[in-house]
Structure 1
Amino acid sequence: MATPDEAEAAVQALREADVLFLEILPQKRDAADDDDPDPEAEERTGSRFTVPAAGSGIRRPVDRRFRSKRRGGAMFDAHLHFEAIVAREDGTIDWDRAERLVERWRAGGVRGVLAVSVDRPSAERTLELKRRFPDFVFAALGEHPERPLSSERELWALEALIRAERGRIAAIGEVGLPHYARVDQKSAVRERLRFFAGLGRKLGLPLALHAVYDGAAEALSVLREEGVRKAHFHWLKAPAAVVERILAAGYRVSVTPEVCYRKRARALARAVRRRGAPLLFETDGPWPYEGPFGGRPAEPLWLGRVLQCAAEAVGEAPEGLSEAAEAAFLSLFGSSEAAGGSGPPADQGS
């Protein structure tokens, strides 16, 4: 873990280079090799912030081929921590930076982003971004499961915000089940997901889910029990049988920049396409990726390269994948009236 001075130096270097600001995100780093890691061997931490230490590789030059260019048409980022990228230390939004980034992303072929939240303050910033960029930002409000559980009072305040802003919201998220942080209240965490699943069903909103490894099957059970019709399992890492059950239930799955350098991600892309389901594409920016991305924080401009890598993995034309992803994104998140509903998924799977 970086010292405070090293962390500040790393963040300052990012700002000076005018690349994406590495905000506080839950620790979720896997082994950098190309094979599936042992989940029990992964580093787990409850730390809210994870900043690479000085000299850890964050300044390595990124492979220029992976600077996104528009490939295959307009793209939607299905999972982005936009508010974290543009938040100042005092919690306000750097609007000059936000305007500059949106202009650059649009020029690069990015049509929109699902902007997720991790708590109530970040949800409020996400709503501010939605108001400023109504045709670009698809807002998701939620509570990240790797963070300590909020109090009942804080949860009620978040619920009230979601209900009050229902017309501006595309999803409830990021919500789910923890894996990387040590959790002593498993039943309470599961009930928190059940609460958000029920709220999504009542309000007709899909869920943007963080649920990996053992948590993926558990989250799937909660969604079925609560009758959630629409959900997106972001950055899914789960056994093949669980992936099949998620797809059979009609829920959506995305690939990240890992599809350019990890077998696991390429296998996921192939599993989705074998079922004839559309792939969504995400960056989870500003998360830093290894491999050809050189430890740089991700941004939506990488989507073109992610699409190209996915197309190579599944043996399909990028244009077709892009068109299917656009239709799936808009069907899932496209507007408040397009999302959710009551009742169980059409196909319960096995």
Structure 2
Amino acid sequence: MFDTHIHLDLYELEERNRIVEAAIGSGIEGMVSVSMGMESCLTNRELVLRHNGRIMPAYGHHPEQSPLDEEALLVLCNWIRERGEEQESFAIGEVGLPYYLRSEAENKGHSFDLSFYLRQLEGFIQLAAELHRPIVLHAVYEDAETVLDLLERYSIRKAHFHWFKGSASTAARLISDGYYISVTPDVLYEPEIRELAAVFPLNRLMVETDGPWPFEGPFTGKQTEPGMVRDVIREISLLRGLDEEKVAEAVNDNSRNFYGWNC
């Protein structure tokens, strides 16, 4: 199985190594370790070199933090280009728009300038188009529509909306464009995610943990680890009335095909 979205670099060093080894030992074929910024990118690249073939890095700058200035964005994009010149396997991510950061500011009555975040995102989307790489997106609710506009403008073919949340019309547009979403362990208790997982096309569905993000319900008090994707797959099969093995085969094939894994 595959955990298609995890922040391995955010775990403590000793815990990180244990989690990776435990995941591999338990049959997890691959993990997509997404980046928060340059330092995170460097850590993820080290993990790739240590666990060849098991970890797919995604290089970028997470949007729920201050955006990069033009010089820093150029430095990061040029570093990613160098990885492409070396013919390394990677995706672009985690990138997107700061829905939660913006909502928090606006709820406090503060203005929020989205233009810098849009400039940054467009830069990463251009890079994904230039390098022909998959892109991993943090884009929920109305932000997803804005991101879809940009993806379509640059004719992006491989886009992965992690932990997607949005309207039925946005989901339909995402499906029409041939893009993918991934479902987290909150599918066991969150009505909005349960409804989505029950109807979204199985051939466009993947699973993730977004670790070390903690979950509630049956996962309360437990450390988030890649093995939890088994619980996600089991719940999806129950929601859809399908054989668990069939669902596992489908989401695993989706992960392999989307990220080009040869595990």
| Same fold? TM cut 0.5 | yes
Q: Does 1:137 find its partner at 2:55?
A: yes
**CA separation in 2, counterparts of 1:153 and 1:137?**
29
Deviations 1:232-285 (A, max 9, x none): 000001011101110111000111101111111111112213xx5332000000
In the comparison of the two structures, how many residue pairs are matched? 252
Q: Secondary structure at the match of 2:78?
A: helix
Q: Which residue of 1 aligns with 2:229?
A: 303
Q: Residues 120-144 of structure 1, C-alpha deviation per residue, up to 9 Å, x if partnerless?
A: 0001101010111111100100000
Q: 2:2 — aligned with what?
A: 76
1:118 to 36, 39, 43: 36
Distance 1:187 1:141 in 2: 22
Amino acid at match of 1:108: S
Q: What residue is the counterpart of 1:146 in the other structure?
A: 64
After superposition, the Cα gap between the structure-2 partners of 1:213 and 1:297, relative to the gap in structure 1 and judged at 3 Å, is farther
Q: Offset at 1:335? A: 5.0
Matched residue, 1:176: 96
Query: Does the aligned pair in 1 maintain the 2:58–2:92 contact within 8 Å?
Result: yes
- Measure, in 2, the Cα distance between the counterparts of 1:171 and 1:309: 28
Find the aligned partners of 2:15 and 2:232 in 1 and give their Cα distance.
24
1:69 corresponds to: none
What runs of 5+ residues in structure 2 fail to find an aligned partner? 106-111
Q: Indicate conservation of the 8 Å contact 2:5/2:31, yes or no.
A: yes
Paired with 1:106 and 1:128, the residues of 2 have a C-alpha distance of 17
Shift of 1:210: 0.2
Call closer, same or farther: CA 1:122–1:281 in 2, change over 3 Å: same
Structure 1 residue aligned with 2:124: 196
Distance in 2, Cα, partners of 1:292 & 1:100: 22
Which stretch shows the higher mean deviation, 319-328 or 194-203?
319-328
Given that 2:209 and 2:226 are in contact with CA atoms closer than 8 Å, whether structure 1 keeps it comes out as yes
SS in 2 for 1:77: strand
TM-score, normalized by length of structure 2? 0.91
Paired residue for 1:285, among 211, 215, 223? 211
Letter in 1 for 2:95: V
Q: CA deviation at 1:297?
A: 3.5
- Percent of aligned pairs sharing the same letter: 37
Structure-2 residue corresponding to 1:43: none
TM-score, length of structure 1 as denominator length? 0.69
Partner of 2:157: 229
2:136 counterpart of 1:208: yes
- Measured after TM superposition, the shift of residue 295 of structure 1 is 4.2
The match for 1:219 is 147
**Deviation string, structure 1 residues 64-121 (Cα, Å, up to 9, x no partner):** xxxxxxxxxxx100100011114xxxxxxx3x54443222112222111000001000
Larger Rg: 1
Between stretches 298-307 and 180-189, larger displacement belongs to 180-189
Segment drifting more, 226-235 vs 325-334:
325-334
Q: Contact 2:19–2:225 at 8 Å: present in 1 too?
A: no
Alpha-carbon distance between aligned partners in 1 of 2:261 and 2:223, rounded to the nearest angstrom:
28
What CA distance in whole angstroms lies between the structure 2 residues aligned with 1:285 and 1:97? 12
Q: State the match for 1:45 in structure 2.
A: none
Structure having the higher helix fraction is: 2
* Letter matched to residue 142 of structure 1: G
Which residue number corresponds to residue 108 of structure 2? none
> Is the CA contact (8 Å cut-off) linking 2:63 and 2:95 kept in structure 1?
yes
Gaps of 5+ in 1: 1-74, 87-93, 337-350
Partner in structure 1 of residue 109 of structure 2: none
Name the residue aligned to 1:10: none
